[in-house]
Amino acid sequence: MKCRHCHNELEHVFLDLGHAPPSNAYLSASQLRAPETTFPLRLYVCDTCWLVQTEDYAAADELFSRDYAYFSSTSRSWLQHAATYVEKITDTLKLNRDSFVIEVASNDGYLLKNFVAADIPCLGVEPTNSTADAAEKIGVPVLRKFFGVETATGLAEAGKRADLICGNNVYAHVPDINDFTDGLRIALKEGGTINLEFPHLMNLIQLNQFDTVYHEHFSYLSLTTVVRIFAGAGLRIFDLEELPTHGGSLRIYGSHKNDPRQTQPTVTDMLEKESAYGLRDLPVYQGFQRKADKVKNDFLEFLLAQKRAGKSVAAYGAAAKGNTLMNYAGIKHDLIDFVCDAAPSKQNKFMPGNHMPVLHPDEIAKRKPDWVVILPWNIAAEVLQQQAQVKSWGGQFVIAVPEIKVLA
């Protein structure tokens, strides 16, 4: 296998989680009787450009299907994050009715609906029909395609180059990161701005966030690597923000390489911080497997202790994170009684791999478990607020990542 960016031969394994099904491939009852396809879930690190990437195995259209089950609008905190961003970037870039905004991987319109409400012309590029249908129902225009050079060229030829191209948590999801980045350049006006948000690899390593590894994430990104990828496409990163979302993310500000805006100290400071942490040296990558195994083993020990004590355990959030954790640990009905999720697209289906049924969140109040494991730990505060009644019967909340922690 070769690096998807620089084509260097890959030989260093960063993390091996065995075999697993795609994390968002939720199953119907009838599908439980059929064989389930699994793929290697293994990451390599390139010792030339330091891109961390999944082992090659599948095309993107096998992962992002028509009935893709992830809808961004399910999370209230994420909706607020999007609304706050739109207000800020509109003011910063002085966007108006004469501007044009493209969001790549626009999902169900969770972000672009704010531009629509502000009467700022926009377009979502989204390949999954289930989420695109939802976006169009709320007035968000959608181009139903994967983004890359071909799609960007079509937009440019149609006079639809953008003042702002934004993409939240899509950069890690693209199998051909060079083609995607070249597409950003083609679809961007001179003087335009690119905003991409992606989970920061340094946080993944520091905080043992191995459960953010799944097949739909083709890449795990540091600023060091993204600067290099942008430069190869004729683009430049001139600013960034550190965000608390998804366990710690970066929001980069990019432009054409000849853009007059000066590169801010935030960029050089982060590059120096990554270097000091060791992201340009192999040892920090080669030691991560031990950290992941400790999280898994500690979680199993916790669940076994509750089983021996006769306690009931439920899980909240049938998220990709939870699928990775539970499938790697081999957790099934014997240790967790049921899983709830607020997304209607997941309810009455079964989690991939472990086949646990996904129920409506109201089941928590009906069954009154002793423990609720919050699998999407990044929205733990939101879940604590929504499920505050758990404490009325003496129930407790717990997360497993970055370590076992009982939440007050």
Instruction: Kindly list the domain boundaries of the chain, sorted by start residue.
Output: 72-285, 294-407
Cα(93)–Cα(88) distance, rounded to whole angstroms? 9
**pTM (predicted TM-score):** 0.90
Q: Give the model's pLDDT for residue 57.
A: 63
Q: Do domains 72-285 and 294-407 have the same CATH topology?
A: yes
Q: Give the model's pLDDT for residue 66.
A: 47
Which CATH code fits 294-407? 3.40.50.720
Beta-sheet strand order (sheet of 235-243): 142-143, 122-125, 101-104, 162-168, 188-199, 249-256, 235-243
Q: What is the pLDDT along the chain (408 residues), one digit of tens a residue?
A: 899 999 999 999 999 999 999 888 899 999 999 999 888 999 999 999 999 999 976 554 555 444 544 677 777 888 999 999 999 999 999 999 999 999 999 999 999 999 999 999 999 999 989 899 999 999 999 999 999 999 999 999 999 999 999 999 999 999 999 999 999 999 999 999 999 999 999 999 999 999 999 988 999 999 999 999 999 999 999 999 999 988 899 999 999 999 999 999 999 999 999 999 999 999 999 999 999 999 999 999 999 999 999 999 999 999 889 999 999 999 999 999 999 999 898 999 999 999 999 999 999 999 999 999 999 998 999 999 999 999 999 999 999 999 999 998
CATH superfamily of 72-285: Vaccinia Virus protein VP39 (3.40.50.150)
Q: Of 388, 13, 400, give the one whose Cα is nearest residue 211.
A: 400
> 């960063």: which residue's tokens?
14
DSSP 145-171: S--SHHHHHHHHHTT--EEEEEEES-G
Cα(235)–Cα(135) distance, rounded to whole angstroms? 30
Contact 331, 300 (CB under 8 A): yes
DSSP label at residue 341: -
Contact 245, 261 (CB under 8 A): no
